[in-house]
Amino acid sequence: MKRRKFIQKSALASVGTMMIPGFLKAYEAVNMNQPINHHKKVVIIQLSGGNDGLNTVVPFRNDTYYELRPRLAVPKTNVLKLNDELGLNPILSGLKSIYDQGWMSIINNVGYPNPDRSHFRSMDIWHTASDSNEYLTTGWLGRYLDSECGSNCKTAHEVIEVDDTLSLATKGERIKGLALINPKKLYKSTQNKGFKMLADHAKAHDHEHNVGYLYKTLAETVSSAQYIHQKSKVYQSKATYPRNAFSQRLKTIAELISSGIDTKVYYAEMTGFDTHVNQKNRQERLLRTYADAVKVFVEDLKKNGRLDEVLIMTFSEFGRRVKQNASNGTDHGTANNVFVMGGKLGKAGIYNESPNLRDLDKGDLKYSIDFRQLYATLLKKHLGVNDRKILGKDFDKLSFV
């Protein structure tokens, strides 16, 4: 059987375990009882579909906002005010508590030159950190793995995506991140007798190229799943997370961080933000789910002394148009706000200028901060790695770190 067909048919593929990188084999040598290591972490949260940033961080003192959104704008009296110009959607009380404690920076007008309004293309640009006219096949976090791990990596520099499959962002040329929903499920999926027999066989024999690749992958999957499952049991969160899929993914990340697994980057996605029709109720429901989950997540990390070492970044592939459409929704736009959270921010609060609703580009916001400046800042100033090597060029760093 050809490699591709085997992967497609394998039960392991359904839980993302075929994405496990080779360097996880190094986990076998780790002492399971070693002291918990405190390392810098990054948590990336992707709001897929294009979240409407203007109804998330509301320019309540701007008359143009209310003129262009007569039925959709958030009433001034309802806004959770952050300063004299901007406030949060009232549904985001969970974020307001984080903001008030100095653990949040709101970065406005984030985008890139010559923006693309296609979901797929814009997400590819964000995932690969490419120019809008450049097409890359590796993600920025995948290249982080390639750069920091190398071909003979002896340490667990890794990326975990809490999902069934990997996004392009976490795929490198030589090394890919690990996709899992939760460690227990991953571990159980590898405990079937057939897989264990194949894994044992792989250790004892060499094989021709395709078969050898499969045996090696299975062996590494079994050993890696066992390590992650055992290590994750060090800490079981007692925090009360909301009972929805996104919240449970953040709970998994919190448990892995607090258990001391030497993972540098975690990635989670929340979908549904493409609000062309009847936006208000739908977006508010999604924003409440997001904010309530993040509030518990941040408090969980703080309680366990981990918030100071973690930076959480939330982005969406684009914002929405400033003017509402005829269906009480908004169409695909360009620049948007990005949230950065952590226990030791260099600059908390409103990071930069408010969106200019009078100076638009064909009805869309103009960007003033390239999203790759955020990536460069996370890589260089927080993770301490060579951002130029990963991103392919220099970008000015920001002061939220």
Nearest to 178 by CA among 392, 349, 20: 20
Q: Look at residue 190 in the predicted model and tell me its pLDDT.
A: 75
Residue range 375-388: average pLDDT?
Answer: 97
- The residue type found at 307 is L
Q: Look at residue 216 in the predicted model and tell me its pLDDT.
A: 57
pLDDT in tens, 247-306: 999 999 999 999 888 889 999 999 999 999 999 999 999 999 999 999 999 999 999 999
Q: Look at residue 215 in the predicted model and tell me its pLDDT.
A: 60
Residue 350: partners with Cβ closer than 8 Å, 6 or more residues away? 82, 83, 86, 106, 108
Q: Look at residue 91 in the predicted model and tell me its pLDDT.
A: 98
Q: Look at residue 6 in the predicted model and tell me its pLDDT.
A: 45
pTM of the model: 0.87
The token pair that represents 37 in the structure block: 């290591």
pLDDT in tens, 99-110: 999 999 999 999
Mean pLDDT of the chain: 86
pLDDT in tens, 238-247: 999 999 999 9
CA pair distance 1, 6, nearest whole angstrom: 6
The top-scoring range by mean pLDDT among 134-148, 165-179, 198-212 is 134-148
Q: Look at residue 362 in the predicted model and tell me its pLDDT.
A: 92
Q: What's the gap between Cα 352 and its chain centre?
A: 22
Q: What is the 3-state secondary structure (H, E, C) of the chain?
A: CCHHHHHHHCHHHHHCHHHCCHHHHHHHHCCCCCCCCCCCEEEEEEECCCCCHHHCEECCCCHHHHHHCCCCCCCHHHCEECCCCCEECHHHHHHHHHHHCCCEEEEEEEECCCCCCCHHHHHHHHHHCCCCCCCCCCCHHHHHHHHHHCCCCCCCCCEEEECCCCCHHHECCCCECEEECCHHHHHHHCCCHHHHHHHHHHHHCCCCHHHHHHHHHHHHHHHHHHHHHHHHCCCCCCCCCCCCHHHHHHHHHHHHHHHCCCCCEEEEEECCCCCCCCHHHHHHHHHHHHHHHHHHHHHHHHHCCCHHHEEEEEEECCCECCCCCCCCCCCECCCEEEEEEECCCCCCEECCCCCCCCCCECCECCCCEEHHHHHHHHHHHHCCCCHHHHHCCCCCCCCCC
pLDDT in tens, 332-363: 999 999 999 999 999 999 999 999 999 999 99
Is the domain covering 3-391 a CATH 3.40.1350 domain? no
- Percent of the chain scored above 90 by pLDDT? 69
pLDDT band, very low/low/confident/very high, at 393 (cuts 50, 70, 90): very high
Cβ(329)–Cβ(275) under 8 Å?
yes
Q: Look at residue 31 in the predicted model and tell me its pLDDT.
A: 39
CA pair distance 328, 77, nearest whole angstrom: 21
Axis-axis angle for helices 93-100, 279-303 (nearest 10): 40
Q: Look at residue 1 in the predicted model and tell me its pLDDT.
A: 47
- Asked if pLDDT for residue 11 goes beyond 90, the answer is no
pLDDT in tens, 21-64: 443 433 333 333 443 344 899 999 999 999 999 999 999 999 99
The residue with tokens 């309530």 is 292
Q: Look at residue 209 in the predicted model and tell me its pLDDT.
A: 53
pLDDT band, very low/low/confident/very high, at 10 (cuts 50, 70, 90): very low
Q: Look at residue 196 in the predicted model and tell me its pLDDT.
A: 64
pLDDT in tens, 111-125: 999 999 999 999 999
